[in-house]
Amino acid sequence: MKALILVGGFGTRLRPLTLSVPKPIVEFANKAMILHQIEALCKIGVNEVVLAVNYRPQLMSAYLEPYAQKLGIKISYSHETTPLGTAGPLALARELLNDGQPFFVLNSDIICDFPFADLLAYHKAHGKEGTIMVTKVEEPSKYGVVVYKEEDGSIQRFVEKPQQYVGNKINAGIYIFNSSILDRIQPKPTSIEKEIFPKMAEDGQLYCMPLEGFWMDVGQPKDFLLGMGLYLNSLKQKTPEVLSSGQGIISPVLIDPTATIKPGCLIGPNVTIGPHCTVEEGARLINTTVLAGATIGKNSWVKSSIIGWESTIGSWVRMENNSVLGKDVHIADELYVNGGKILPHKSITSSIETPEIVM
């Protein structure tokens, strides 16, 4: 079986991190976002993953090649020279996908439990052209709602940002299609959600399957951190042994074995600390991701923030409110950073008291 992962975007919502690396290989819970998806696909027998790529394809290829060998999977690249939306990449990769077998399609910034085996079985059972996963949301008026028959899962219509309640299930960005869908799509900028799906539903060829458990689009900092918390709490329920524990740890916390945590720290809940990081004495971390090689200074307090690769935070710093440090950013001692988005290779010597982008 094959799968296509849509990685063509520029990752603008997750800047400044994506100024250094493409979004799919930003580490989420100490593993590149896209590896969560590729590993789950491998487990159910997918042997080739096609990446519909636009931004920095050479960097992504170099990063993923060792993992392809380790997992025993072929990773192919379909290179968009111009953005083709969410449907055009399928047509561009037609020769790679059109082998008569169903294939998966995923948005690259989705995190969940990836129940691909259940999705495949359900798709084969109803026998139609396509199946999309849907997830429940609390405020459906913010999204495009999928209206479907509860008894069989057949999709009736899509309602964009409904002002009156029509349902609370939205597209989760995970699909499986028969290869016949390729006949519906041309290699030009096309929205699969707005142009292809409504026609498939009209033809009675599109079904949906509700996704159980957590789901999050982690493509922007606030949702990245929220998704991290959901993911860590899912691990806590299902495989608590993979999480970190011990004095000064408030679960769930995930710390790479190569990280150094000095005495007197209090870490968690909902914290991930990457390889070769250092957390100095007395630091307090809450709902935060610390990427590889970063250092948190003595007695600093960091909440709801993402600390970029090789960045340093001085002593007695307070940082909060979805602050994001790009790669190699340095925060001087005793500063306050409130919602700062700081581009790579900057040194900050004065407080950021209101949210702003520091160029």
Identify the pLDDT of residue 262: 96
Tokens of 78: 């379909």
| Highest CATH level, class, for 224-358 | mainly beta
Mean pLDDT of 232-246: 94
Mean pLDDT of 167-190: 88
Among the options 142, 149, 161, 199, which is catalytic? 161
Query: At residue 103, does pLDDT exceed 90?
Result: yes
Identify the pLDDT of residue 38: 93
- Residue 162 vs residue 47, higher pLDDT: 47
142 in catalytic set: no
Query: At residue 302, does pLDDT exceed 90?
Result: yes
Confidence (pTM)? 0.89
Give the whole-angstrom CA distance, residue 9 versus residue 7.
Answer: 6
Query: At residue 102, does pLDDT exceed 70?
Result: yes
Mean pLDDT of 313-339: 97
Identify the pLDDT of residue 299: 97
Q: How confident is the model at residue 118 (pLDDT cuts 50, 70, 90)?
A: very high
| Residue-averaged pLDDT of the chain | 90
State the SS3 of the chain. CEEEEEECCCCHHHCCHHHCCCHHHCEECCEEHHHHHHHHHHHCCCCEEEEEECCCHHHHHHHHHHHHHHHCCEEEEEECCCCCECCHHHHHCHHHHCCCCCEEEEECCEEECCCHHHHHHHHHHHCCCEEEEEEECCCHHHCEEEEECCCCCEEEEEEECCCCCCCCEEEEEEEEECHHHHHHCCCCCECHHHHHHHHHHHCCCEEEEECCCCEEECCCHHHHHHHHHHHHHHHHHHCHHHCCCCCCECCCEEECCCCEECCCCEECCCEEECCCCEECCCCEEECEEECCCCEECCCCEEECEEECCCCEECCCCEEECCEEECCCCEECCCCEEECEEECCCCEECCCECCCEEEC
| Highest CATH level, class, for 2-217 | alpha beta
Domain ranges for the chain = 2-217, 224-358
Identify the pLDDT of residue 93: 81
Query: At residue 140, does pLDDT exceed 80?
Result: no
Same-fold call for 2-217 versus 224-358: no
Mean pLDDT of 271-284: 98
Query: Mind listing the pLDDT tens digit for each residue in 29-72?
Result: 999 999 999 999 999 999 999 888 876 677 888 888 888 888 88
